[in-house]
Amino acid sequence: MTRTRTPSRAGWLRAMAVGLALVAVACGGGADDATTTTTAAGGAPAQAPEHPEGSTMAQVQAAGTLRVGTKFDQPGFGLKRATTGEVEGFDVEIARLIAEAIGPEVEVEFTESPSAVREQLLENGEVDMVVATYTINDARKERVGFAGPYYVAGQDIMVPAGNPLGIEGVDDLNGKRVCSVGGSTSVENVRTMAPEAQVTEFDVYSKCADAMGDGRIDAVTTDNTILLGLIEKSGGKYELVGNPFTTEPYGIGVPKDDVEFRNFINDTLEDLYASGEWADAYERTLGQFVDEIPEPPEVDRY
Ligand code: GLU
């Protein structure tokens, strides 16, 4: 069994719509072709919004491209398909919806952003924003700004199916071979909360999943929804312990002092919550692994 849940009829219809949109992209257009198609089908053509002169939104609109850092190996959030080169997932959808709010013609260019390089990519101006299962916290706010949160996860543990070592929570990781990713809150948390764990750090979570498949480690720890995507991909080889021990509010990283862009993204998120587009994006991505669509979290305009 590869799916824990059969998509609803509406889910299938949406999946088909996404498939059609991908065909449009594959036929030479950009992500916004899908947007334009949707808008045209819905009636009036989309108007190009007006942005304050000199703002990031105005610059992105003029460039026609929003440069976004995301994950490429996290099913459900950000996954790049080896066969088609397409990226998909909730983070990808959120990024596309923000691009659409900047301007109907704006395309999204995705750059892989492993956990340890997210701040650096923003500081170097290599991307305009990062949407990459990126927990908002004070240490990171020293270097980047955060819009959102747009989702709240919790750190959990993934073990081989059947849980052979009987790992029930973070305390049980002491003395075990545990894998996580450098530069993540997950690895910091496990080092603090299970100081006797033998921690292996990789740059991306899929390498942890592979290492567990080879028996090189006993458990993988990071956010529950990331783990659920990896479990889905494992086809039943792995399972979730299901005992989250942290709160991980996901934000959209922007350059630290770009408050105008941060506010614009916050306004956009609130619009997406109100219009139901956030819930639709959730249903066609993470909704494939998780039964309930949660309420979107309240935006924090710090
Ligand atoms: N949300 C956590 C973080 O931002 C873990 C997931 C990740 O590494 O992307 O560090």
Tell me the percentage of the chain whose pLDDT exceeds 90. Answer: 82
Contact 46, 39 (CB under 8 A): yes
Q: Does the C-beta of 223 come closer than 6 Å to ligand 1?
A: yes
Distance 6 CA to ligand 1 centre (A): 28
pLDDT tens, position by position, 251-289: 999 999 999 999 999 999 999 999 999 999 999 999 988
Distance 106 CA to ligand 1 centre (A): 27
pLDDT tens, position by position, 122-150: 999 999 999 999 999 999 999 999 999 99
Mean of all residue pLDDT scores within the chain: 87
Distance 295 CA to ligand 1 centre (A): 21
pTM listed for this prediction: 0.85
Q: Does the C-beta of 79 come closer than 6 Å to ligand 1?
A: no
Q: Does the C-beta of 184 come closer than 6 Å to ligand 1?
A: yes
